[in-house]
Chains A and B, each alone.
Chain A
Amino acid sequence: DAKTTQPNSMESNEEEPVHLPCNHSTISGTDYIHWYRQLPSQGPEYVIHGLTSNVNNRMASLAIAEDRKSSTLILHRATLRDAAVYYCILRTWGGGADGLTFGKGTHLIIQP
């Protein structure tokens, strides 16, 4: 399986933008890039996913490098509620039966 590499932890201030990087140098053409986050004492929740083009939704933006070997999850204005572990996951189209492969993720700390 193609793997992802993320920093163990990052720290940011409340109301500032946060850029969470993810490297996936062995990504294949059919791999989608997914982001999930896990708030304390909760199950993971879906954030966003994309294939080649940048994506925006109400929670975040996903910027994908032109060669697709890296991506960045952007939280435009962090709040204390955004403190969580963020997971970058590759998933092959149609590979739903394989489940999600989580790494250790990035522990995002938000300072008030």
Chain B
Amino acid sequence: ETGVTQSPTHLIKTRGQQVTLRCSSQSGHNTVSWYQQALGQGPQFIFQYYREEENGRGNFPPRFSGLQFPNYSSELNVNALELDDSALYLCASSTGDPSSYEQYFGPGTRLTVT
């Protein structure tokens, strides 16, 4: 069973640029959630995709957007990068079954905005 994978591992961007982060969900999982984790803080929920549709969103501006593909992999796009966007971005997959609460997290992508 393949776990959740994310790419790239690290990324450095300049303020104002755009970035795309990628996530492959665990086999059999149709739901992907994205989180942002600033240094020393717990992860903050960005949004969730279920069967290629966004079905939940945290308190993040529209410049944070995403996609989910038919194979349930996902992308997180961030436009007009700001210095405060520097963080660890985590992807988590799950089955989408409301009785199944376990989310499986990937190792994250470390984004640095200069």
Contact = CB atoms under 8 A, between A and B. Distances in A.
Contact of B98 (A42, A44, A94): A94
B72 interface: no
A29 interface: no
Interface residues of B, number: 31
Contacts of A34: 101
Interface in A75-112: 85, 87, 91, 93-105
A100 B106 CA distance: 15
Contacts of A97: 48, 50, 55-56
Contacts, number: 69
A87 B90 CA distance: 16
B22 to A, nearest CB: 15
A100 B98 contact: no
Contacts of A44: 43, 90, 92, 103, 105
Interface of A: 32, 34, 41-46, 49, 85, 87, 91, 93-105
